[in-house]
Amino acid sequence: MGVTKTFYIETFGCQMNAHDSEKVVGTLVSEGYRQVSTVEEAGLVLYNTCSIRDKAEQKVFNRLADYKKLEKQGKKFGVLGCVAQQEGDKIFERAPYVSMVCGSASYRNLPAMLVQLEAGNRRVTGLDDRQTDACFETECTARTNPHRGYITIIEGCDKFCAYCVVPYTRGKERSRTAESVLREARQMADSGFTDVQLLGQNVNSYRDPSGKMSFAELLTAVGEVNGIRRVRFTTSHPRDFTPDIVAAIDAVPALCDHVHLPVQSGSTRVLGAMAREYSREEYLERVAWVRSAKRPISMTTDTIVGFPGETEEDFEQTLSLLDEVGFDAVFAFKFSPRPNTPAISLQDSIPEEEKSRRLQMLMDRQREIQRSRYARHVGQIMEAAVEGFNSQRGQVIGRSTQNKTVNFTTPHPIRPAPGSYLPVRITQSFPNSLVGEAVS
């Protein structure tokens, strides 16, 4: 790869993947590599992959095929993440020009793998099974945003939902010590970060290996770190969502007024088939805890339509749940069978066009719910964290503590700096954003 070791990385998927890439970049830089912005400039091309959706692995192979011709230029290719763990050595067979395959539970082995790659090894593999207890902790994280950053507190998943590939690609649940999480939070605060998001496949399934803190206590402790103004956490599992989490949000101002709690279906029967380990009634009990908080907390969720065996009545129960809860946002998807999951053996009897119809009905219903919920903010003053500027509209782009986009104008010609916080009076609402004016 020459004297100057260069690399390009492309990331697919969730926030966990995005943060994993930040840690991978930091690791490579610490090993003497330099990140470049195009494939053409790179000696090493990396794809950090996600396999949560249908045909994810095919998309990766298609992307690799696009760059096969670049192998003749001496470039090397690596596949990282969930597709790497899922497909394993089969990647070398389907794409012989790939030299490295590293699963998301094996990133701590990257320095040793890079040494093998540099030595000319054409098949470097890092694939941990579900027995690994190690987390990917590094001091070399290359954070892409100087004000807002992620901290992974738990990796892996033990829930084994019938449709989900994550337990097979990211290994078993393994938590970092509360002490290490707080140390990273303090380091971030000392470096100027004011907005921190705690991450995990099931973030509230966190179990401190030292036994010192529960998840709610860790939330509280991070929220009390000097210099941190906002703390978010995602994604929560309803089974492990407890009242003390809501109590912590109420008690600590830095904890954001937002809970993302995936429901997946409003039908208890379908939830059972999905192996979600809670009923509709138990989910609504958790919603009641959130709604009883002293301050208004926005709720968002995930749903799947067209799970095998979902009847029209089951789907109507999901729609009625949207009405009953009043979510501030819903991320909805059509069911697609994933490799190695129990659901792949179920008869996917619902036609694709019916799945599409249900998805559109759900999103239309949710859009009207959001139109109503966002309209409630008109006339309120809320704090917006500045993220950027829309030159075409002459508006500052901000985000509220409820994780809602706030586009606003200011009375001063000087634009507020990204990472600053301003009070904004809301003057207009849309289903996915708010509009306002900064208050002097």
CA–CA dist 267, 275 (Å, integer): 12
Is 60 inside any structural domain? yes
Q: Decide which of 335, 352, 373 is a domain's last residue.
A: 373
Between residues 59 and 37, which one has the greater pLDDT? 37
Is the pLDDT confidence value at 156 over 70?
Answer: yes
| 416 and 355, same domain (yes or no) | no
Structure token pair of residue 320: 């009625």
Average pLDDT of the chain is 92
Which pLDDT value is given to residue 50? 85
Residue 86: band (very low, low, confident or very high) from pLDDT cuts 50, 70, 90? confident
Residue 354 burial (C-beta neighbours within 10 Å; 0-12, 13-18, 19+) = middle
Peptide bond connecting 138 to the previous residue in cis, omega within 30 degrees of 0: no
Shared domain for 207 and 316, answered yes or no, is yes
Domain presence at residue 134: no
The CATH number of the domain holding residue 431 is 2.40.50.140
pLDDT in tens, 393-429: 999 999 999 999 999 999 888 899 999 999 999 999 9
Same-domain status, 294 and 394: no
Task: Give the angle 183-187-193 at the CA atoms, nearest 5°.
Answer: 130
- Percent residues over pLDDT 70 in the chain: 97
Q: Is the dihedral of CA 174, 179, 180, 183 positive or negative?
A: positive
In 3D space, the residue among 5, 3, 1 whose CA is nearest the CA of residue 30 turns out to be 5
Examine residue 314 and state whether it is found in any structural domain, yes or no: yes
pLDDT confidence tier of residue 340, bands split at 50, 70 and 90: confident
- In tens, the pLDDT along 13-51 reads 888 888 889 999 999 999 999 999 999 899 999 999 888
Do residues 153 and 42 share a domain? no
Q: Is residue 263 part of a domain?
A: yes
Q: Which of 120, 52, 57, 130 is nearest to 94 (CA)?
A: 57
Burial class of 266 by CB neighbour count within 10 A (0 to 12, 13 to 18, 19+):
buried
Instruction: State both tokens at 89.
Output: 């050595």
pLDDT in tens, 122-144: 899 988 766 767 777 766 777 88
Counting beta carbons within 10 angstroms of the beta carbon of residue 289, is it exposed (0 to 12), middle (13 to 18) or buried (19 or more)? middle
Instruction: Look at the alpha carbons of 333, 203, 24, 397 in this order and tell me if their dihedral is positive or negative.
Output: positive
Pairing of strands 5-11, 33-35: parallel
**Final residue before a domain boundary, out of 353, 373, 393:** 373
What pLDDT is attached to residue 4?
A: 66
**Residue 162, in any domain of the structure:** yes
pLDDT score of 130:
67
Task: Return the pLDDT at 104.
Answer: 81
Confidence of residue 54 (pLDDT cuts 50, 70, 90): low
**188 is a domain residue:** yes
**Judgement on whether residues 55 and 10 belong to the same structural domain of the protein:** yes
Say how far apart CA 347 and CA 405 lie, in whole Å. 40
Does residue 403 share a domain with residue 369? no
Which CATH number fits the domain that encloses residue 84? 3.40.50.12160
CA pair distance 188, 320, nearest whole angstrom: 42
Taking the CA atoms of residue 348, residue 350, residue 353 and residue 359 in that order, the dihedral angle to the nearest 10 degrees is: -100
Q: Are residues 92 and 217 in the same domain?
A: no
In a domain, residue 132? The reply is no
For residues 158-163, give the mean pLDDT.
94
Shared-domain flag, residues 116 and 49: yes
> In total, how many domains does the chain have?
3
Residues 107 and 256 in one domain: no
Do 59 and 97 sit in the same domain of this protein?
Answer: yes
Q: What is the mean pLDDT of residues 237-259?
A: 98
CA distances, 338 to each of 162, 163, 170, 349 (Å)? 10, 7, 14, 15
Domain housing 211:
148-373
pLDDT score recorded for residue 1: 43
Does residue 233 sit in the same domain as residue 267? yes
In whole angstroms, what is the distance from residue 210 CA to residue 180 CA?
Answer: 11
CATH of the domain at 162: 3.80.30.20
**Does residue 141 lie within any of the structural domains?**
no
Do 219 and 306 lie in one domain? The reply is yes
